[in-house]
Amino acid sequence: MLPSVKVQVSRYQDCEIGHKGFILEPYVTSMQLSCNYTSAKTNKNVQKLPSLPVPKLTDTLGKYLLTVKPFLSDEEYARTTSLVRDFEKGTGQQLQLLLEKRAQEHLNWLEDWWLNTAYLEYRDPVVVYSSPGLVFPFRKFQTQNDQLKYAAKTLLAALSYKSLIDNDKIPVEMMGKNPLDMAQYKKVFGTCRLPFAKRDKLSFNNSKHVTVIHNNHIFHVDLWGDDGVMLDEEQIVQQLKKVMELSSVPNKQGIGILTSENRDAWAKAYELLCKDKTNSESLADVEKSIVVLCLDEAVNLWKYEDSNARRNLAGAQTIHGGGSQSNGGNPDGVTGLTYEHSPAEGQPIAVLTDFIIKYIEENKAPEVSSKSPKQPQLLKFNVSPEVNKMIEDAKKNLDKLVQNLQLNCFQYDKYGKNFIKSQKLSPDSYIQMAMQLAFYRLHNVPGAHYESAATRMYVGGRTETIRSCSIESIEFAKTMLNSQSSPKEKISALKSAINSHKNYTVQALQGFGVDRHLLGLKLSAIENGIEIPKLYSDPGFTRSAHMRISTSQVACKCDGFMCYGPLVADGYATCYNPRDNDINFATAAFVEHPDTDCNKYRSALEQSLQEMHDVLLKNVPSKL
Ligand code: COA
């Protein structure tokens, strides 16, 4: 079997033991932020960006009613409408005022709330449910030395990128004429998510070492020598070789697997571990490190001739490591990374991936070498019988989760963005509508559909939900699936659905979607002891927010892709990387749900993309 390498940035966990991010890249850096970083007005708005607006109540509710319509009968819709009108005239106004007050007191009224509700208070395991995997283009390693060289290059690339981040040299990204908030980049390295009961904490660190995991043994590896000079590639290879020598016998008590547990379970184990001084020092060492590098067992990627089968295997390795008997305690056999989602969206990680791949291809190397590298240190842990029992439970739970996750990662190679643009259509909206059609084709009911839109034009901006399921998307699906529809009708329905999606996207990017505003109103109620309005338990809300299709565009230039698990038990995840002439998809579903099947979803998606292409060409010849 060929050895392979995985770099994790914030993988498994969020940190703690062992999992921080990239698999191959190590390091974290500079963030002097405290755990309790906030967007309160006292904080600096370095880029002088505008604040996230609070949309007008009437505007949001009007939009909301449009998005719930596909999920309700006429009678239900009439009831929901009347509920919304009552809310608009009553409690809604009170909550709106509270939210506007909060917005005056914070640079970004949503930032802390979002961090807590979407991430730190979320109790499901970060594995599958929160931490995405990002698969790098495949590599073949012939020898262990190849693997270690690649790992060393990845670390150097990551350090080089970190240095650009630290020195504010990353070019400010733009959306049209608007600069985007670059703060997420500063949180990529060195961020550790610590488990606590009810709500985790983030720890931001800047150090000079990485954590390396091999065979479930955890090491501190300094990337700078005693002389303060960074190690060169060969010196890092030597460090990694030493790590492998010292850990040739697998550690059966690997505590890393605890990080794949439900957050409260991991918090309990973490608390117990920390009672012992040796453990708390070792955990602190991992917490401070720049990234975690996992040198995993090979998974025999190349036994598959079909490149999509390799994609599946690689995706699984970056999401969960394959379970307790594979690389679940210390992943993988493929190159890629896993990152802790709470401090940053996927896009900065995709940019970093392109940087690493280019760095490696260009074979860059530091010009100086340290004269006095330090030796890797094995981090010691005293595992009590109680913690040992927790490790055994974690293994079982992870194995169950792994068994339950069905992945289908593939490259759609018939066309990509270029064809869609040649039809004068938005590639993102087009792909989203292909998913709507695929879902309807399989299930014959509207699929509530989440897409992330970046709100980084605002200070501290994260995302807004694009509700991709619309009256128009359902009309489009029905028209496409109706054998009586003419090509003209199909094209017209397609364009109308795309326009509707694009229109929502533009509003979401400006912070004028439905979901974050409604969340803000609900949290205003909770914080002020006001009863949660009925609107939030109404079928219009619950059905339209039960996101059966959970999607993100994560675009990188290289042939990589990001993957993660579904949001709901009967849902699909779809992360996609649209490139000029192909689209990389990573889809996921839960095996135990009888209604979903990823393989069928993939076929339906491919069929939808093909039919949309063909119908367009019946009208306007492609220039391709
Ligand atoms: N005709 C021709 N070309 C068009 C077009 C049309 N009608 N509409 C759009 N295009 C072009 C665009 O100009 C753009 O060109 P470029 O490749 O030269 O830049 C390209 O097609 C892509 O545009 P489009 O597909 O419409 O949207 P997008 O790439 O801007 O993506 C979002 C839209 C919502 C995905 C994006 O704005 C966003 O928010 N991304 C971040 C999502 C995120 O947070 N993901 C991570 C979650 S963890």
pLDDT higher than threshold 70 for residue 365: yes
As a whole number of angstroms, the distance between CA 515 and CA 470 comes to: 15
pLDDT band at 5 (very low <50, low <70, confident <90, very high): very low
**362 Cα distance to chain centroid:** 28
Atom 34 of ligand 1, nearest CA residue: 453
Q: How confident is the model at residue 599 (pLDDT cuts 50, 70, 90)?
A: very high
The encoded tokens of residue 342 equal 């709470």
Q: Which atom of ligand 1 is nearest to the CA of 426?
A: 8
Q: Is 553 in the pocket of ligand 1 (CB under 6 A)?
A: yes
pLDDT of residue 215 exceeding 70: yes
576 CA from centroid of ligand 1 (Å): 12
Q: Is the pLDDT of residue 297 over 80?
A: no
Q: Which pLDDT does position 520 carry in this prediction?
A: 98
Residue 6 pLDDT > 70: no
Q: According to the model, what pLDDT value does residue 11 have?
A: 30
Ligand 1 centre to CA of 166 (Å) is 28
H/E stretch holding 80: helix 74-89
Q: Domain extents for the chain?
A: 23-43+117-252+262-267+277-380
Report the nearest atom of ligand 1 relative to the CA of 132: 48
314 — pLDDT class (breaks 50, 70, 90): confident
H or E element in which residue 147 lies: helix 144-166
**Alpha-carbon dihedral sign for residues 53, 59, 61, 65:** negative
According to the model, what pLDDT value does residue 328 have?
A: 60
Which pLDDT score, from 0 to 100, does residue 202 have? 96
Question: Tokens 């190849």 map to which residue?
Answer: 146
Known catalytic residue: 341? yes
Does ligand 1 lie within 6 Å of residue 463's CB atom?
A: yes
The mean pLDDT value for 108-116 works out to: 98
pLDDT (0 to 100) of residue 620: 56
37: number of Cβ within 10 Å:
19
> Backbone phi, then psi, for 417, in 5-degree steps?
-60, -35
- pLDDT tens, residue by residue, 128-177: 999 999 999 988 888 888 889 999 999 999 999 999 999 999 999 999 99
Residue 39's pLDDT band (cuts 50, 70, 90): very low
Q: Whose CA is nearest to atom 1 of ligand 1?
A: 424
Q: What is the pLDDT of residue 15?
A: 26
Whether pLDDT at 69 is above 60: yes
In tens, the pLDDT along 531-574 reads 999 999 999 999 999 999 999 999 999 999 999 999 999 999 99
Q: Which of these is catalytic: 106, 217, 341, 449?
A: 341
- Long-range CB pairs of 522-526 (<8 Å, 24+ gap) are 522/95, 523/113, 523/117, 524/95, 524/98, 524/99, 524/102, 525/91, 525/95
Binding site membership of 25 for ligand 1 (Cβ less than 6 Å): no
What would the mean pLDDT of 321-340 be, rounded to a whole number?
Answer: 72
The CA 290 to ligand 1 mean position distance, Å, reads 32
pLDDT in tens, 432-465: 999 999 999 999 999 999 999 999 999 999 999 9
Considering only residues 618 and 488, tell me which one the structure prediction assigns the higher pLDDT: 488
For 77-84, which contacts have Cβ atoms below 8 Å and span 24 or more sequence positions?
77/540, 79/538, 80/538, 80/539, 80/540, 83/534, 83/535, 83/538, 83/540, 84/535, 84/540
Pocket test for ligand 1, best of 119, 338, 426 (most atoms within 8 A of CB): 426
Report whether CATH 3.40.630.10 matches the domain 23-43+117-252+262-267+277-380. no
Nearest CA-CA partner of 581 in 434, 357, 412: 412
- pLDDT score recorded for residue 302: 72
Q: Which of 428, 452, 466 has most ligand 1 atoms within 8 Å of CB, for mutation?
A: 428
Alpha carbons 501 and 424: distance in angstroms, whole number: 15
Distance 186 CA to ligand 1 centre (A): 24
Ranges 2-6, 349-353, 480-484, 522-526: which has the least confidence: 2-6
pLDDT of residue 317: 83
Between CA 258 and CA 270 the distance in angstroms is: 9
Q: Which atom of ligand 1 is nearest to the CA of 505?
A: 34
211 touches ligand 1 (CB under 6 Å): no
pLDDT on residue 623: 53
Strand (E) or helix (H) holding 586: strand 583-590
SS3 per residue for 109-134: CCHHHHHHHHHHCCCCCHHHHCECEE
3 state DSSP class of 518? helix
